[in-house]
Amino acid sequence: MAIQNFVREEINSVFDDCYAIKIYDNNHKTIFEKGTKEFDKILQLWQITVNSGYEMPAFGVSIHELTIEDMQKGLHIEFLFDKLNYHNEMPFDSLLLKLQENQYGYQLIRHYEDKYQGRCFYVNTTEINNDLYDYIQSLTAKKD
């Protein structure tokens, strides 16, 4: 359990350095900068969502072209960082995830050197929490 908590804290701690959050809603992009109420709420809900989760070995590998194609539909969140970060010796300057209703886990796709390419991270959650999904849906509904 102590190792699990250490890993969870390590992957979660990187989100403290996030400077903006980009939402992709069926290819419509919206950016929320650090300090805005939307940014703060998204980050708070993300931390609550993964708080009881734990990192698992990720079997997913991102292929840039396929990831870009997938981002054209559905909801995606991208956490943007102003510096290069490393986790498990893998570099990234942003982390992208697909957001769906009733998820039990999240594949975090690494962006590095202008590509969504390579091994991913995976955070498994112990329960379904749709609060983040619902909030993002409410933000994107306002754009229509």
3-state SS assignment for residue 50:
helix
Distance CA 46, CA 69 (A): 24
What's residue 141's pLDDT? 75
Average per-residue pLDDT for the chain = 88
Percentage of residues of the chain with pLDDT beyond 70: 91
What's residue 143's pLDDT? 56
Residue type, 73: K
What's residue 125's pLDDT? 87
Give pLDDT tens digits for 66-103.
Answer: 999 999 999 999 999 999 999 888 999 999 999 999 99
